[in-house]
C-alpha cells in the first residue's frame, strides 16, 4: 500500500475500505506518518534554522566523559534521545554502559522536564527485560543524561529480518516484551520501551 503511487492510493482505499470512513481515515493517518518518519530532533533543527539559530541536532560526543564514563561511539537515535556506548574509566571497575541524552535543539524546558521524568520512572523499574538505570547526571550545558545497562544485540525489526526466527520464537519474544510492558504500565508515568537478551530496544 505505501509503495503505491499517490494517484493510485485513493482508488485502492476506496476498494479496500468501502463505506467505512473511520477505517479509511486511520489508514490515511498511518500513511501520512509513514511518509514523515523524522524524529523530533530533525524538526527541532528545522525550527532552529527558522529562528536563525545554529543547527546542531547531533553533536559528536565521542571521547567525551559523563561522570566516570567515557563515550566510545553513537549506537542509536530516536524521537526523544541519542544513545551512546560508553565505558567506565575511573579504574574503580570495568563496565560498558549506554548513555542516553537529549540531542541539541531539543533542550526546551518541557522536553528537559519530560526527560528527567523518564529518568525517575526508570529508577523505580526493576525487571529482567527492562534496561536498568545505573546512574544519571547533568552535562555542563545543563542537559540531563541517563546511564543504562548496555544490551548487546539488534533492534527488534533487524533481529527479525536477519535471524528469521520461527513463529514460535517470535511469539516467545513477543511474550517477553509484553511481560515487560505489562510490568511497566502500572508504574507512575506509564510504560517504557523494554529490552530483552536478543535485541536492544529503541531509543
Tens-digit pLDDT string for the chain (203 aa): 556 676 677 887 788 778 888 777 777 766 665 554 445 545 554 444 444 444 445 567 888 999 999 999 988 876 567 899 999 999 889 999 999 987 655 667 887 888 888 888 888 888 888 889 999 988 887 888 999 999 888 888 888 889 999 999 999 999 999 998 888 876 655 444 433 333 333 44
CA dist., res. 1 & res. 179, Å (int): 32
Is the separation of the CB atoms in 178 and 133 below 8 Å? Answer: no
Q: Residues 107, 202, 174, CA angle at the centre, nearest 5°?
A: 150
| pLDDT score, position 192 | 44
| pLDDT score, position 97 | 96
Q: Is the pTM of this model over 0.95?
A: no
CA dist., res. 54 & res. 46, Å (int): 10
Pairing of strands 96-101, 144-149: antiparallel
Instruction: Let me know if domain 65-149 sits in CATH 3.30.200.20.
Output: yes
CA dist., res. 193 & res. 138, Å (int): 22
For residue 148, report the phi and psi dihedrals to the nearest 5 degrees. Answer: -125, 165
| pLDDT score, position 106 | 60
CA dist., res. 6 & res. 113, Å (int): 40
Query: What radius of gyration do the chain's Cα atoms show?
Result: 20
Is the separation of the CB atoms in 105 and 41 below 8 Å? Answer: yes
Amino acid at each position: 500500500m505505501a509503495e503505491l503511487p499517490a494517484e493510485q492510493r485513493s482508488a485502492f482505499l476506496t476498494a479496500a475500505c468501502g463505506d467505512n470512513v473511520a477505517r479509511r481515515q486511520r489508514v490515511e493517518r498511518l500513511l501520512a506518518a509513514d511518509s514523515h518518519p523524522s524524529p523530533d530532533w530533525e524538526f527541532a533543527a528545522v525550527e532552529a534554522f527558522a529562528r536563525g539559530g545554529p543547527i546542531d541536532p547531533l553533536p559528536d560526543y565521542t571521547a567525551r566523559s559523563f561522570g566516570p564514563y567515557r563515550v566510545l561511539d553513537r549506537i542509536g537515535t530516536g524521537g526523544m534521545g541519542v544513545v551512546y556506548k560508553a565505558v567506565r574509566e575511573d579504574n574503580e571497575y570495568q563496565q560498558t554502559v549506554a548513555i542516553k541524552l537529549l540531542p541539541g535543539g531539543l533542550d526546551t524546558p518541557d522536553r528537559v522536564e519530560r526527560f528527567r521524568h523518564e529518568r525517575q520512572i526508570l529508577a523505580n523499574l526493576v525487571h529482567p527485560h527492562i534496561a536498568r538505570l545505573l546512574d544519571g547526571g547533568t552535562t555542563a550545558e545543563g542537559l540531563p543524561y541517563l546511564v543504562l545497562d548496555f544490551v548487546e544485540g539488534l533492534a527488534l525489526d533487524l533481529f527479525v529480518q536477519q535471524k528469521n526466527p520461527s513463529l514460535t520464537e517470535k511469539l516467545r519474544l513477543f511474550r517477553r516484551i509484553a511481560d515487560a510492558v505489562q510490568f511497566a504500565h502500572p508504574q507512575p508515568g506509564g510504560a517504557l520501551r523494554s529490552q530483552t537478551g536478543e535485541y536492544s530496544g529503541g531509543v
